[in-house]
A = this chain, B = another copy of it.
Amino acid sequence: MERKLTATTEIDVHFYDVDSINMVWHGNYVKYLEVGREAFGKEFGIGYMDIYNLGYVTPIVDLQIRYKNIVKFDETLIVETSYVPSKSAKLIFNYLICKKSDKTIVAEATTTQIFMTKEGEFEVSTPDFYREWKNRWIA
């Protein structure tokens, strides 16, 4: 049976995140997803620098965000970032963003990343370290 790997982190909404209709500008959620992914990477040993030091970067190839509720200045958000198991050489995450105050869900999202060598070559097969990471955490 597969374990569900999830990291949880908090984000404060600042003045510069808010647009002229007094809500967080929709594009800023992409930053919140990145903060979530960074928290996941630290907790489960698969962060940006871990991967970079093994010779790879992991560009985003697909991004989907469904906005459910408005977020205002000065709120605190909770981002839950969950690993989505996949047989392919991809890193897929689901995200749930809610308000800390009353747990209202404000957005759900999914990102897909692929592996690219630092020299810029796309890696179609699963890198060894990623297979080992899956064996350790998912199997």
Q: Which residues of A contact B (CB under 8 A)?
A: 14-16, 18-23, 25-27, 30-31, 34-35, 38, 48-49, 57, 59-67, 70, 73-74, 118, 120
Contacts and interface: CB of A to CB of B under 8 A. Distances in A.
A67 B60 contact: yes
Contact of A34 (B21, B23, B27, B120): B27
Nearest to A13: B38
Q: How many copies of this chain does the complex contain?
A: 4
Given A27-B27, A61-B67, A65-B63, A18 B20 contact: yes
Contacts of A26: 30, 59-60, 63
30 contacts: A14-B35, A14-B38, A15-B20, A15-B48, A16-B19, A16-B25, A16-B31, A16-B34, A18-B19, A19-B19, A20-B21, A21-B57, A21-B118, A26-B30, A26-B59, A26-B60, A27-B30, A27-B31, A30-B30, A38-B74, A48-B74, A59-B70, A62-B65, A62-B66, A62-B67, A63-B63, A63-B65, A63-B67, A64-B65, A70-B120
